[in-house]
Chains A and B, each alone.
Chain A
Amino acid sequence: DAKTTQPPSMDCAEGRAANLPCNHSTISGNEYVYWYRQIHSQGPQYIIHGLKNNETNEMASLIITEDRKSSTLILPHATLRDTAVYYCIVRVGGGGGADGLTFGKGTHLIIQP
């Protein structure tokens, strides 16, 4: 799986959009970008994933650059409950088998009141 680079920490004001960047310059054509988050020692929680098109769900939006070398997770209206460590993970998609996720150090997002 391709390696990812994320800033170790970020602050965001409550109610504002939180934009979390992820660099994955070595991503290959069949690799997807996934985002998970972990709220203080709870089990990680799936947020969103994408291949090359921008994706949106009830939790967040995922913007992937045209060259797919980087992406941004957007939490449109951050709340205090969004304070967590956010992990960007790149892994091969498609069928034929699944294995464990490779978590890096992630970005510790702190939402300020």
Chain B
Amino acid sequence: DSGVTQTPKHLITATGQRVTLRCSPRSGDLSVYWYQQSLDQGLQFLIQYYNGEERAKGNILERFSAQQFPDLHSELNLSSLELGDSALYFCASSVGLSFPHEQFFGPGTRLTVL
């Protein structure tokens, strides 16, 4: 158990819909990262937040957005969903920005878009 929690575990929805994935980092961790894992693209970094502020962006689509709240939990919002958005979405956390940036991953949310 990494200490990172994600809800829900599974999510099934239809094209065009909007969903929200939630992540609670390990106690004391200020950085939260979101990753997407699909069969064709592999594991890809989407976005990072540090202490409530956006810190780094990866291959995140404009239809996707995220935020980190004062209690440090984070939400990833996916809108106008397409079939290709079906994937595993992982959240990870780390203590902060200082080296060595070891990241602890949650169990993931499996999103299925029908």
Chain B nearest CB from A5 CB (Å) reads 15
Partner of A101, one of B31, B45, B106: B45
In chain A, residues 91-109, which have Cβ atoms closer than 8 Å to a Cβ of chain B? 91, 93-105
Chain A residues near B55: list those with CB within 8 A: 97-99
In chain B, residues 35-79, which have Cβ atoms closer than 8 Å to a Cβ of chain A? 35, 42-48, 55-56, 58
Chain A nearest CB from B5 CB (Å) reads 11
Say whether A44 faces chain B, with CB atoms less than 8 Å apart.
yes
Chain A residues near B101: list those with CB within 8 A: 91, 93, 98
B residues near A (Cβ < 8 Å) are: 2, 4, 31, 33, 35, 42-48, 55-56, 58, 88, 90, 92, 94, 96-108
28 contacts between A and B (CB under 8 A): A41-B108, A42-B108, A43-B2, A43-B106, A44-B90, A44-B92, A46-B102, A46-B104, A49-B102, A87-B43, A93-B101, A95-B97, A97-B97, A98-B56, A98-B94, A98-B97, A98-B101, A99-B45, A99-B56, A100-B45, A100-B47, A100-B48, A100-B56, A100-B58, A101-B35, A101-B45, A103-B42, A104-B42
